[in-house]
Copies of this chain bind each other. A is one copy, B any other.
Amino acid sequence: MDEIRLIEVKEEIHADNKVVAEKLRDRMAAEKTFLLNLMSSPGAGKTTLILKTIETIKDDLRMGVIEADIDSIVDAEKVAAAGIEAIQLRTGGFCHLDASMVEKGLNGLDLSVLDMVIIENVGNLVCPAEFDTGAIKNVMILSVPEGDDKPLKYPLMFSVCDVLLVNKIDYLEASDFNMTALNERVLALNPDIKIFQTSSKTGQGIEDWAAWLREATTTFIR
């Protein structure tokens, strides 16, 4: 299960993206496959966190990954090297995924043998927040070096997510990041969001995040 398939996707303007997304959610419920949409800035650590997550839960749940990238296939190669089925969507300059692009990716996977698919969206805090991908849950990563003011500047992204992973907390000491201020800003936008502090480097917080993901998935596919 370590081959990489590459699918080229293009923007088709779907006024009915929401409809496609709802249909996708119905399909995932019927297939009993949990679908997670992971978003962040470039370089916040999405791929590395996915690899850590795979390591932690691949014995419990059967996973697949859909990687979105503008031009390269390096992320899908890394995921495939971890023994997980990976589809690479190459967006050719396009800045986010919509539900029909995700559908194309899912069509390349055998959902009947998967409990969960993680979508790694394009690195961008703006456009991906505006498009429903059909995922069951939306998760974003904010890395410590990006700063604690990001909820002020990208409020929609923080508003649409079910989980925030504050990542690269191993940088906290070298930074003036204020975790209390961050939490207040995020919760003011989205009181129901679940916040985890993680570091892929030290492993800190990964177990807690993986426990949430395991629970969300088993609840959905039960």
Report which A residues bind B (CB closer than 8 A): 41-44, 69-72, 74, 93-95, 122-127, 130, 143-147, 149-150, 152-156, 168, 170-171, 174
CB within 8 Å for A95 and B126 given contacts A70-B153, A74-B152, A153-B72:
yes
Q: Is the CB of A95 within 8 A of B74?
A: no
**Prevailing SS type, chain A contact patch:** loop
Q: Is the CB of A130 within 8 A of B43?
A: no
Integer count of this chain's copies in the complex: 2
Which 3 residue pairs across A and B have the least CB separation, nearest first? A43-B146, A145-B145, A95-B126
Q: A153: which B residues are within 8 A, CB to CB? A: 42, 69-72, 74, 123
CA distance A149 to B71 in the complex (A): 12
Contact of A174 among B71, B143, B174 (CB under 8 A): B174
Q: A44: which B residues are within 8 A, CB to CB? A: 146
Q: Is the CB of A127 within 8 A of B125?
A: no
Q: Is the CB of A126 within 8 A of B70?
A: yes
List, sorted by A's number, 22 A–B pairs whose CB atoms are closer than 8 Å: A41-B123, A42-B125, A43-B146, A44-B146, A69-B153, A70-B126, A70-B154, A71-B152, A71-B154, A72-B152, A74-B149, A74-B153, A93-B126, A95-B126, A122-B126, A123-B126, A123-B154, A124-B126, A126-B127, A143-B145, A145-B145, A171-B174
